[in-house]
């Protein structure tokens, strides 16, 4: 069995580079795991218009999700990609003292986030190379949904939380490595500009909570692909 796998692999590597090239009209579908590391910066948390000095909002710095993308080779060396990241949920935590008698502890809320990115990709090397590095630039749309205060906060009357969706710049760099005529492996890194604003309201005390947060994640992808 092992000999057959090795023989198949060697035969694939022996194929001519021209047979493996990315050609105009090709569609490349990639899927795999994305590791997310937010680079978070936030405003001070404001309650009823008054900032809580020294307060910040924090997001966990690690997450992983499934990512699926498709690239259409519009021209030699030029691809157009649409990438959809799987949704992932995390807690919003606060740092510092919040000026509200009804907010307790540092676990403020939970939210689900999903990124969708459209990019133009530039491939550098001649098309007959198995190794195809590229860079990309595009537009990211990040949706926030299922946002809710943590149970401890809800017991105090904090019920309504709204987090705005985000539009921003997306940068990427990566490579395809052709294993056979159709199959490839891919690795890439992304930087997304994700800025949002959150507003919450306490139905019991009518307190208003506001803060801005820049999520700006680094995202690292490893996966496999198939070229049609």
Judge contact between 148 and 183, C-beta under 8 A.
Answer: no
Pairing of the two strands 131-149 and 88-95: unpaired
pLDDT score for 11: 44
pLDDT score for 6: 46
Q: Coil, helix or strand for 209?
A: strand
Quick one: pLDDT band at residue 22, thresholds 50, 70, 90?
confident
Domain boundaries, the chain: 2-227
pLDDT of 26 > 50? The answer is: yes
CATH number at 2-227: 2.40.160.20
Give the list of residues 6+ apart from residue 227 with CB closer than 8 angstroms, or none.
Answer: 22, 26, 27, 28, 29, 181, 182, 183, 184
Q: What is the pLDDT of residues 99-149, one digit of tens each?
A: 888 888 888 999 999 999 999 999 988 877 889 999 999 999 999 999 999
Token pair 């966990």: residue: 60
pLDDT score for 88: 85
Q: Coil, helix or strand for 202?
A: strand
Mean pLDDT, residues 26-37 taken together: 94
pTM of the model: 0.83
Q: Look at residues 95, 99, 111, 125 and name the one whose alpha carbon lies nearest to residue 20.
A: 125
């Amino acid at each position: 069995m092992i000999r057959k796998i090795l023989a198949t692999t060697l035969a694939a590597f022996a194929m001519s580079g021209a047979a493996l090239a990315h050609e105009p009209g090709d569609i490349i579908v990639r899927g795999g795991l994305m590791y997310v590391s937010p680079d978070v910066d936030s405003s001070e948390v404001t309650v009823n218009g008054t900032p809580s000095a020294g307060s910040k909002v924090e997001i966990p710095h690690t997450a992983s999700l499934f990512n699926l993308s498709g690239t259409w080779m519009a021209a030699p060396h030029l691809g157009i990609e649409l990438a959809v990241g799987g949704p992932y949920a995390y807690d919003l935590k606060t740092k510092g003292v919040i000026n509200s008698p009804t907010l307790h502890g540092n676990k403020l809320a939970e939210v689900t986030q999903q990124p969708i990115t459209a990019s133009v990709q530039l491939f550098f090397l001649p098309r007959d190379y198995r190794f195809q590095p590229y860079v990309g630039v595009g537009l990211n749309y990040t949706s926030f949904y299922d946002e809710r205060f943590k149970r401890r906060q809800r017991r105090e009357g904090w019920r309504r939380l709204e987090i705005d969706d985000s539009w921003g710049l997306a940068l990427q760099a990566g490579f395809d490595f052709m294993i056979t005529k159709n199959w490839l492996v891919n690795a890439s890194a992304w930087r997304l500009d994700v800025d949002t604003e959150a507003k919450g309201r306490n139905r019991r005390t009518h307190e208003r909570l506001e803060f801005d947060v820049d999520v700006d994640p680094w995202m690292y992808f490893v996966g496999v692909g198939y070229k049609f």
